[in-house]
Amino acid sequence: KHMRKQYTYNQYDKLATYNVDHWDSASNSWQPLLDTAMGYASKTWFEYEVYWPASIIQAKRNATDIKLFPCPASDFIRIEATFEKAESFTASIVDISGRIVRQWNEENIQQYTRTVPLTELPSGNFILKLSGNRLNSITCFTVAR
């Protein structure tokens, strides 16, 4: 039994229809597949809906000012952060695959300064993540040697 599959795509290159026919040697033509329960089951249509936010009620302001330098870093990175209110948080350095390579806790700080040695880290891209009760901040940096 010979089968033919045909596809059509919409203007966004998404699948619009999928058509399956079989060769009927008695009529020498392509015929749609017939499903006894559903009738012609050879053509399938796909519909897509796009949901976009209509508006933003209020943009959330970043209450944290974080500076990392030097960038790119080699032996150390200096972190300077100013928080709106004193904050206890966990600082994590995460590699690009999501593995935590260093983590430490800080208690009740509003002005934060720390120099972190990076000698054991390989060259590459990393993420500094600061997370606390009112704080969730991510900053990227590069180690280059």
Q: Identify whether 59 is part of a domain.
A: no
Are residues 130 and 84 part of one domain? yes
Distance (Å, rounded) from C-alpha 74 to C-alpha 92? Answer: 18
Over residues 88-110, the pLDDT tens digits come to: 999 999 999 999 999 999 999 99
Rounded Cα–Cα distance for residues 104 and 93 (Å): 9
pLDDT at 37 over 60: no
Residue 84 placed within a domain: yes
Give the tokens for residue 33. Answer: 């597949």
| DSSP state at residue 75 | S
Residue 50 located in a structural domain: no
> What confidence tier does 69 reach under pLDDT thresholds 50, 70, 90?
very high
> Are 137 and 73 in the same domain?
yes
41 vs 14: CA distance, rounded Å: 21
CA distance 71 to 19: 55
Give the pLDDT score at 40: 60
Say what the pLDDT of residue 58 is: 72
Give, in degrees to the nearest 5, the angle at Cα 51 between 48 and 56: 170
pLDDT higher than 80, residue 17: yes
Peptide bond between residue 122 and the one before it cis (omega within 30 degrees of 0): no
Tell me the backbone φ, ψ of residue 61, rounded to 5 degrees: -80, 140
Given this model, what pLDDT does residue 63 score?
61
68 and 124 share one domain: yes
Question: Same domain for 95 and 37?
Answer: no
pLDDT score of 82 more than 70: yes
Domain count, the chain: 2
Q: Which domain holds residue 25?
A: 3-45
Dist CA 106 CA 90 (whole Å)? 6
CATH number at residue 96: 2.60.40.3080
